[in-house]
């Protein structure tokens, strides 16, 4: 059992959770993730480590409440317990030697990209962050991101805050204005990563993406997380989750992530119904 | 005068049409009377050929003599001297190619049902186990990586010798293949957890949710005060076939399919992990893993389940009993057949698998006749899921992160003549991590051998 130190709602569907897990906190590096199982009957879900404190022995994740498991996770009060948290999993991002980087985050992807931006910034690289959100109500980590870069371009789809537009527009504008990036790191929904990669390919800029296929064990024993990279089969949980964005097959990722949609909808509705019944009683 | 009945005493089983709809154990086990009757078939051969067929050398005629007298607890004590997991071995060992293959009674009839008797004793004593005596502490710490049969056996033996043992397990439940691979209807999970509890009574600490190589490396274990390390991390990395269409929705490795079912209990609606209930399923492969996956698919309600295997009936590597059970449950065998392509519909879901027929040619390096494709024999089988059970190899995590640990080109840990001493000082290994996918009892034998070697190493240090 692992003690939940905080589980704070950041906006209506985003929660930040800090868990006591000293062994993981000691080893975590940017780009790695944990697998969490909330309760005995729960499923194992992967979440990126968005912060870690080796001295305090805690790790922090930021997650979106999109289905039954994450909704249940959000119900655990501070002082409550998680059944399991295991990690740090995946390879750490390769960040050494980078001098100038663009870190592109889409929605919740910003929480996943933030540790990388912070690491680069702290290690003397020049970092631009391009962060995109659907609207201003769901902006997260604005202050933290601002502190981790030279230049934060905040965009919203509807223009309710920052610039109106998509992250691809923001990135293109910076490149066209003369920014010379060693690397573009992009994390967000597959469709967004796909379009950013299409753009950077035109400019011939190396691009790293973080893949988020469906996972079970996260240790390389099931192959549920397999993705195609340059025509080869890779297991995202051990070979990734970071991959060369110009080599990955995003359409396949999107197709595979839809696999359990019916089952998940069912589970999620059951959970919501039960909650409503409880509420009405 | 021994009981000269030529056949084994029959063990009750759930009827095929009933068991196909539930997850309860297929084989019901002997009653006391049946066990005594079967035990009386043993001739107590002086040279004990059966014992030579047992990788951990259970004193077979000895324990059977106790059973014949109705002294089941005495029998269990004899078995436990050399076998740490009798309830497991009695159920899953391929006795037909081990102890029972050597049994004298097998020459003119059926061998003594050694496995069933072992199982009976363990089940009979499940709630009558004496409190284990803890050994005098030696004040030395040993780390065991992996809680499969090799790790559990090694840990038990070391604890009995007074070492302070910690088992590190990547998953959230201890047991290795016994919990995530072999299904409930062959090996109830409560039996595995009981065995793990016994181990804890011996003073072994089990830390789940620790991935060695990520959470802590082998080198760091030494830095943290462990004086020897046993690696029993298995061969859990699934192989795919490299044919087109393997990225389709509805294509699984057997490991994924079985893990969802056994470890995550996806077949139960009160557990959160989802699983698809497919209509027509092809399982590729002919080993125990393929049989387990096929029989699970049937229990999830599939109308039609095929085993697709490139060699013939005689070459099926699965245990005879499992093949027999699968057939009884209506699984259809498409032998001498090999998939060449998995076909998907416009949504990316599997709709069929293209196969080619094979014939057996000359024997290959393994001595088995090599299957050769028959040109022009391609045909489609209409399925909505394909489960790949063509083998597993050791996971690369430990070899990638441990200095000085040699592995061969299959990724298996290289050991000295004794089978357990690795190229790194203080590090021993055994089970599937060394041999590649093998059997429970061989993994246990290696765990025991390693405990012996570790004791020698630490005593001399
Ligand atoms: C390496 C990795 C890191 C991740 N990091 C984060 C993170 O930091 N924060 C965060 O909020 N989410 C992260 N995710 C996604 C997160 O795992 C899923 O949102 C979560 O599993 C959904 O669980 P659920 O039961 O609440 O929803 P479900 O009911 O399982 O699903 C709801 C919807 O999400 C889709 N979905 C399910 N699993 C995944 C998945 N693994 N990736 C993408 N979509 C999925 C389903 O198809 C469905 O449409 C990460 C995924 C991976 C693989
Ligand atoms: C479906 C299936 C059916 C089978 N049926 C039979 C049968 O009927 N009879 C028979 O004799 N054999 C059978 N086998 C084979 C048998 O189960 C294996 O040979 C045996 O379990 C090997 O034991 P092991 O201890 O070497 O490894 P495993 O049982 O594989 O255990 C290894 C453990 O190590 C853990 N681990 C791996 N890497 C790490 C790491 N880096 N850090 C921490 N922990 C780690 C794993 O999670 C796992 O729990 C079957 C196998 C399968 C898959
Ligand atoms: S070989 Fe068969 S009959 Fe002989 S001692 Fe062993 S079990 Fe008994
Ligand atoms: S999640 Fe199972 S192999 Fe990656």
| Beta-ladder partners of A183 | A101
Model confidence over A200-224: pLDDT tens digits? 999 999 999 999 999 999 999 999 9
B435 in contact with ligand 2, CB cutoff 6 A? no
Q: Which of A208, A215, A147, A214 lies closest to A181, judged by CA?
A: A208
- Where is pLDDT greater, at A152 or B368? A152
Model confidence over B91-113: pLDDT tens digits? 999 999 999 999 999 999 999 99
Q: How many CB atoms lie within 10 A of CB A118?
A: 20
A269 phi, psi to nearest 5 deg: -65, -40
Q: Is A181 annotated as a binding residue?
A: no
Instruction: Return the C-alpha torsion angle A25, A26, A32, A36, nearest 10.
Output: -40
> Is it the case that residue B361 has pLDDT exceeding 90?
no
Q: How far is CA A176 from CA A196, A199, B128, B129, in A?
A: 15, 12, 78, 76
Model confidence over B175-195: pLDDT tens digits? 999 999 999 999 999 999 998
Q: What is the mean pLDDT of residues A247-252?
A: 93
Smallest Cβ distance to A255: which of B237, B240, B348? B348
Q: How far is CA A96 from CA A92, A197, A204, B409, in A?
A: 11, 22, 20, 31
Same fold, B12-125 and B141-236+392-460: no
CB B82 within 8 A of CB B447: no
* Confidence at residue B384, expressed as pLDDT on a 0 to 100 scale: 96
* Confidence at residue A276, expressed as pLDDT on a 0 to 100 scale: 67
- According to CATH, the superfamily of the domain at A2-89 is Translation factors (2.40.30.10)
Q: How far apart are CA B19 and CA B248, in angstroms?
A: 31
- CB contact (8 A) between residue B253 and residue A84: no
Q: How far is CA B3 from CA A16, B36, B40, B112, in A?
A: 70, 10, 5, 11
Q: B240-388 architecture in CATH? A: 3-Layer(bba) Sandwich (3.50)
B283 phi, psi to nearest 5 deg: -110, 125
> Is it the case that residue B313 has pLDDT exceeding 80?
yes
> Is it the case that residue B398 has pLDDT exceeding 90?
yes
* Confidence at residue B338, expressed as pLDDT on a 0 to 100 scale: 96
A68 in contact with ligand 1, CB cutoff 6 A? yes
For residue A191, report the distance from its CA to the centre of ligand 2, in Å. 38
Residue length, chain B?
Answer: 461
Q: How far is CA B151 from CA A16, A217, B433, B458, in A?
A: 37, 19, 11, 18
Q: What is the mean pLDDT of residues B105-123?
A: 96
The residue ranges of every structural domain in chain A are: 2-89, 100-257
CA B309 from centre of chain: 20
The number of C-alpha atoms within 13 Å of B440 and in the hemisphere containing its C-beta is: 28
Q: Which long-range contacts (CB under 8 A, 24 or more apart) does A74-77 make?
A: A74/A7, A74/A9, A74/A15, A76/A4, A76/A7, A76/A17, A76/A38, A77/A4, A77/A7
Task: Give DSSP secondary structure letters for B238-307.
Answer: E-----TTTTSBTEEEHHHHHIIIIIT-TTSTTS-------SEEEEE--SHHHHHHHHHHHHTT-SEEEE
The residue ranges of every structural domain in chain B are: 12-125, 141-236+392-460, 240-388
Q: Is A223 left (phi over 0), alpha (psi -120 to 50) or beta?
A: left
Q: How far apart are CA B47 and CA A1, in angstroms?
A: 52
- Three-class SS string for B198-235? HHHHCCCEEECCCCECCCECHHHHHHCCCCEEEECCCC
- Residues from chain B that touch A252, judged by Cβ atoms under 8 A, are 247, 348
- Confidence label for A275 from pLDDT (cuts 50, 70 and 90): low
Instruction: Return the C-alpha torsion angle A223, B405, A90, A142, nearest 10.
Output: 180
Model confidence over A161-183: pLDDT tens digits? 777 788 998 999 999 998 899 99
Model confidence over A27-44: pLDDT tens digits? 999 999 999 999 999 999
Atom of ligand 3 at shortest range from CA of B43: 3
Model confidence over B248-300: pLDDT tens digits? 999 999 999 999 999 999 998 889 998 989 999 999 999 999 999 999 999 99
> Is it the case that residue B422 has pLDDT exceeding 80?
yes
- Write out the two tokens for B209: 């949710």
Q: How far is CA B418 from CA B51, B72, B398, B436, B453, in A?
A: 21, 35, 21, 16, 9
* Confidence at residue A39, expressed as pLDDT on a 0 to 100 scale: 92
> Is it the case that residue B359 has pLDDT exceeding 90?
yes
Atom of ligand 4 at shortest range from CA of A226: 4
Residue from B177, B218, B239 whose mutation best tests the ligand 2 pocket (most atoms within 8 A of CB): B177
Q: How many CB atoms lie within 10 A of CB B162?
A: 16
* Confidence at residue A270, expressed as pLDDT on a 0 to 100 scale: 65
CB contact burial B322-353 (16+ within 10 A = b; e otherwise): bbebbeebebebbbbbbbebbbbeeebbbbbb
Q: Among the residues of B58-113, which ranges form H helices?
A: 60-68, 72-82, 86-92, 99-102
Q: Among the residues of A123-257, which ranges form H helices?
A: 142-147, 167-176, 190-203, 236-239, 250-257
* Confidence at residue A164, expressed as pLDDT on a 0 to 100 scale: 79
Q: What is the mean pLDDT of residues B213-238?
A: 96
Please tell me what DSSP assigns to residue A138. Answer: G
* Confidence at residue B1, expressed as pLDDT on a 0 to 100 scale: 73
Q: Which of B399, B389, B157 lies closest to B295, judged by CA?
A: B389
Q: How far apart are CA B334 and CA B357, in angstroms?
A: 9
Percent of chain B at pLDDT > 90 equals 87
Q: What is the mean pLDDT of residues A50-57?
A: 93
A88 preceded by cis ω (within 30°)? yes
CATH of region B12-125, choose from 1.10.1060.10, 3.30.365.10, 3.30.70.360, 1.10.443.10? 1.10.1060.10
CB A228 within 8 A of CB A256: no
Residue B95: which residues within 8 A CB-CB, separation 6 or more?
A: B101, B114, B115
Q: Are strands A207-210 and A126-133 parallel, antiparallel or unpaired?
A: unpaired
Q: Which of B200, B151, B154 lies closest to B171, judged by CA?
A: B151
Residue with tokens 């093998």: B438
Interface probe with B: pick from A35, A221, A260, most Cβ of B within 10 Å? A221
Q: Is the dihedral of CA B365, B368, B373, B379 positive or negative?
A: negative
- Write out the two tokens for A117: 């931006």
Q: Which of A183, A192, A177 lies closest to A133, judged by CA?
A: A192
Please tell me what DSSP assigns to residue A167. Answer: H
Residue nearest to atom 44 of ligand 1 (CA): A257
For residue B272, report the distance from its CA to the centre of ligand 4, in Å. 18
Q: Are strands A100-106 and A183-187 parallel, antiparallel or unpaired?
A: parallel
Q: Tell me the residues of chain A between 174 and 213 that have a Cβ less than 8 Å away from chain B.
A: none
Residue nearest to atom 38 of ligand 2 (CA): B233
> Is it the case that residue A279 has pLDDT exceeding 90?
no
- CB contact (8 A) between residue B246 and residue A258: no
Please give the order of strands across the beta sheet that includes A242-244: A163-164, A151-156, A126-133, A100-106, A183-187, A207-210, A242-244
> Is it the case that residue A125 has pLDDT exceeding 80?
yes
- Provide CATH code, domain B141-236+392-460: 3.50.50.60
Q: How far apart are CA B245 and CA B348, in angstroms?
A: 9
Q: How far apart are CA B127 and CA A143, in angstroms?
A: 60
- Confidence label for A269 from pLDDT (cuts 50, 70 and 90): low
> Is it the case that residue A134 has pLDDT exceeding 90?
no
> Is it the case that residue A268 has pLDDT exceeding 80?
no
**Interchain contact A260–B (C-beta under 8 A):** yes
pTM: 0.93
> Is it the case that residue B68 has pLDDT exceeding 80?
yes
* Confidence at residue B135, expressed as pLDDT on a 0 to 100 scale: 85
- CB contact (8 A) between residue A86 and residue B274: no
- Write out the two tokens for B158: 């070391």
Q: A100-257 architecture in CATH? A: 3-Layer(aba) Sandwich (3.40)
Mean pLDDT of chain B: 94
> Is it the case that residue A160 has pLDDT exceeding 90?
no
Window from A78-87, B218-227, B247-256, B355-364 with minimum mean pLDDT: B355-364
Q: Is A64 annotated as a binding residue?
A: yes
Q: Is A225 annotated as a binding residue?
A: yes
Q: How far apart are CA B429 and CA A15, in angstroms?
A: 43
> Is it the case that residue A278 has pLDDT exceeding 70?
no
Residue A204: which residues within 8 A CB-CB, separation 6 or more?
A: none
Q: Is the dihedral of CA A229, A231, A234, A239 positive or negative?
A: negative
Q: Which of B66, B90, B89 lies closest to B78, judged by CA?
A: B66
Q: How far apart are CA B321 and CA B307, in angstroms?
A: 16
Q: How far apart are CA A212 and CA A140, in angstroms?
A: 20
3-class DSSP assignment, residue B438:
coil
């Amino acid at each position: 059992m692992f003690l939940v130190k905080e589980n704070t709602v950041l906006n209506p569907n985003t929660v930040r959770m800090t868990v006591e897990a000293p062994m993981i906190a000691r080893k975590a590096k940017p780009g790695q993730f944990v697998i969490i199982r909330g309760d005995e009957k729960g499923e194992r879900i992967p979440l990126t480590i968005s912060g870690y404190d080796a001295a305090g022995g805690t790790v922090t994740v930021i997650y979106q409440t999109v289905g039954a498991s994450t909704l249940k996770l959000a119900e655990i009060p501070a002082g409550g317990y998680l059944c399991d948290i295991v990690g740090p999993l995946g390879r750490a991002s390769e960040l050494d030697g980078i001098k100038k980087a663009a870190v592109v985050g889409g929605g919740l992807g910003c929480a996943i990209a933030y540790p990388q931006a912070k690491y680069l910034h702290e290690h003397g690289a020049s970092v631009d962050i391009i962060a995109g959100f659907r609207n201003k109500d769901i902006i997260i980590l604005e202050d933290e991101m601002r502190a981790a870069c030279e230049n934060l371009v905040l965009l919203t789809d509807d223009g309710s805050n920052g610039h109106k537009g998509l992250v691809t527009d923001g990135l293109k504008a910076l490149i066209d204005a003369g920014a010379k990036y060693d690397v573009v790191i992009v994390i967000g929904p597959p469709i967004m990563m796909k379009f950013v990669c299409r753009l950077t390919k035109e400019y011939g800029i190396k691009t790293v993406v973080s893949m988020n296929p469906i996972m079970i064990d996260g240790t390389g024993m099931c192959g549920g997380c397999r993705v195609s990279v340059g025509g080869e089969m890779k297991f995202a949980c051990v070979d990734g989750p970071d991959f060369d964005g110009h080599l990955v097959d995003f359409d396949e990722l999107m197709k595979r992530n839809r696999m359990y949609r019916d089952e998940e909808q069912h589970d999620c509705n059951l959970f919501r119904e039960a909650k409503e019944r409880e509420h009405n009683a | 005068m021994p009981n000269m009945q030529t056949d084994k005493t029959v063990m009750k089983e759930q009827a095929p049409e009933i068991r196909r709809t539930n997850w309860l154990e297929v084989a019901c086990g002997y009653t006391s009377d049946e066990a005594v009757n079967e035990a009386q078939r043993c001739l107590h051969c002086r040279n004990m050929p059966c014992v030579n067929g047992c990788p951990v050398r259970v004193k077979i005629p000895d324990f059977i003599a106790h059973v014949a007298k109705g002294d089941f607890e005495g029998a269990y004590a004899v078995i436990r001297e050399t076998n740490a997991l009798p309830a497991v071995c009695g159920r899953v060992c391929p006795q037909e190619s081990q102890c029972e293959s050597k049994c004298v009674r097998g020459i003119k009839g059926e061998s003594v049902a050694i496995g069933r008797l072992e199982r009976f004793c363990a089940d009979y004593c499940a709630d009558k186990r004496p409190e284990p005596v803890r050994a005098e502490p030696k004040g030395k710490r040993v780390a065991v990586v992996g809680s499969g049969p090799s790790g559990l056996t090694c840990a038990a033996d070391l604890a009995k010798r007074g070492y302070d043992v910690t088992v590190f397990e990547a998953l959230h439940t201890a047991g290795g293949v016994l919990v995530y691979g072999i299904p409930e209807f062959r090996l109830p999970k409560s039996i595995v957890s009981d065995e793990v509890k016994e181990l804890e009574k011996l003073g072994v600490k089990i830390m789940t949710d620790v991935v060695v190589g990520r959470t802590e490396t082998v080198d760091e274990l030494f830095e943290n005060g462990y004086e020897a390390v046993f690696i029993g991390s298995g061969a859990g990395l699934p192989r795919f076939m490299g044919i087109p269409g393997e990225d389709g929705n509805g294509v699984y490795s057997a490991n994924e399919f079985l893990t969802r079912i056994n470890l995550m209990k996806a077949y139960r609606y009160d557990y959160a992990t989802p699983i698809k209930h497919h209509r027509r399923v092809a399982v590729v492969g002919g080993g125990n893993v393929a049989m387990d996956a096929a029989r699970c698919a049937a229990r999830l309600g599939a109308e039609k389940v095929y085993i697709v295997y490139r060699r013939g009936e005689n070459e099926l590597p699965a245990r005879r009993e499992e093949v027999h059970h699968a057939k009884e449950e209506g699984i259809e065998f498409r032998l001498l057949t090999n998939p060449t392509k998995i076909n998907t519909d416009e949504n990316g879901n599997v709709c069929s698998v293209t196969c080619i027929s094979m014939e057996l040619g000359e024997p290959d390096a393994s001595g088995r006749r090599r299957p050769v494709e028959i040109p022009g024999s391609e045909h489609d089988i209409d399925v909505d899921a394909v489960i790949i059970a063509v083998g597993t190899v050791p996971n690369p995590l430990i070899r990638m992160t441990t200095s000085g640990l040699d592995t061969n080109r299959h990724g298996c840990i290289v050991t000295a003549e004794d089978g357990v001493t690795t190229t790194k000082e203080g590090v021993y290994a055994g089970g599937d991590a060394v041999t590649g996918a093998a059997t429970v009892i061989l993994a246990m034998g290696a765990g025991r051998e390693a405990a012996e070697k570790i004791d020698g190493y630490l005593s001399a240090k």
